[in-house]
Amino acid sequence: MMEPAGTPWKVLIVDDHEMVRMGLRTYLMLDARFEVIGEANGGKDAFETLARGGYQGQLPQIVLMDLMMPDMDGVETTRALLSQYPDLRIIILTSFLEDEKVVEAIEAGAVSYVLKTVSADELIYAMQGAIKNMPVMSSDVSQALTRGLRKRSASHEVEGLTEREREVLLLIAEGRNNKDIGDELHISIKTVKTHVSNLLMKCELDDRTQLAIYAHRKGWAKQG
């Protein structure tokens, strides 16, 4: 990825909040090194537009991507985009600092993870880092990253449950049914049932209600 002297880096903004897109555009208008070539209000929108040849035939080099979007998750979109366009530099923008999400985002190939509370200066600094493929993260974010990694490695040993089983367990602990869980995890209801059966066997319990209680007692459930 060579910088053509004098040519601004082409930026795509993906966020479902128009006012955030507007704010970002305003940020970047201040800096001649970047040019916003397009906006998308969701992951699907972004993906489809790129598949159709980009914005006025242009492909972005940098993508600023919101994490929480209604149609396609930012992490998921990151994975999808990078599988097609591996040279994209994707920066995740988010309001919340969730340890797991940070890990997922970086795993998905995002170069940086930036909180929406940052100033224009800090964002542009992160974007400059992105060009050089150098992650620029605040100490908050890097702490969350290491915490998330620790949690994950720790939870790998938890009760001999697999990653997937734990995901299913947490959703059960939220009161979701199998159909719901399948939709959430993008797997069939059959597979969900398999995981539930395995959970019941491993935890030596009789039904999903007991699983939900179990998770809450262990403090694994959200807002428990």
Residues that bind DNA (CB under 7 A): 160, 162-165, 177-179, 185, 187-191, 193-197, 200-201, 207-209
Nearest to 6 by CA among 34, 36, 38: 34
Point out which span in 74-82, 126-134, 185-193, 216-224 binds its own copies (CB under 8 A): 216-224
- Interaction partner, residue 178 (its own copies, DNA, none; CB < 5-8 Å by kind): DNA
DSSP string, 121-176: HHHHHHHHHHHTT-----HHHHHHHHHHHHHHHHHTTGGG--HHHHHHHHHHTTT-
Q: Which of 83, 95, 133, 146 binds its own copies (CB under 8 A)?
A: 95
Give whichever of 78 and 178 is closer to its own copies, judged by the CB atom: 178
Q: Compute and round to an integer the Cα radius of gyration of the chain.
A: 20
Residue 203, interface with its own copies (CB under 8 A)? no
Q: Which of 89, 101, 195, 208 binds its own copies (CB under 8 A)?
A: 208
Token pair in block for residue 112: 């940086």
- Interaction partner, residue 44 (its own copies, DNA, none; CB < 5-8 Å by kind): none
Give whichever of 15 and 73 is closer to DNA, judged by the CB atom: 73
Rounded to whole angstroms, how far apart are CA atoms 219 and 224? 6
Residue 195: what residue type? H
Shortest reach from residue 187's CB to DNA, in Å: 3
Residue 17, interface with its own copies (CB under 8 A)? yes
Which positions ≥6 away from 201 have C-beta within 8 Å? none
Which positions ≥6 away from 37 have C-beta within 8 Å? 10, 11, 12, 54, 55, 56, 58, 60
Residue 100, interface with its own copies (CB under 8 A)? no
Beta bridge partners of 115: 94
Shortest reach from residue 73's CB to DNA, in Å: 15
Give whichever of 41 and 78 is closer to its own copies, judged by the CB atom: 41
Residue 170, interface with its own copies (CB under 8 A)? no
Give whichever of 108 and 215 is closer to its own copies, judged by the CB atom: 215
Shortest reach from residue 16's CB to its own copies, in Å: 5
Shortest reach from residue 123's CB to its own copies, in Å: 7
Token pair in block for residue 190: 């059959």
Which positions ≥6 away from 216 have C-beta within 8 Å? 173, 224
Give whichever of 54 and 184 is closer to its own copies, judged by the CB atom: 184
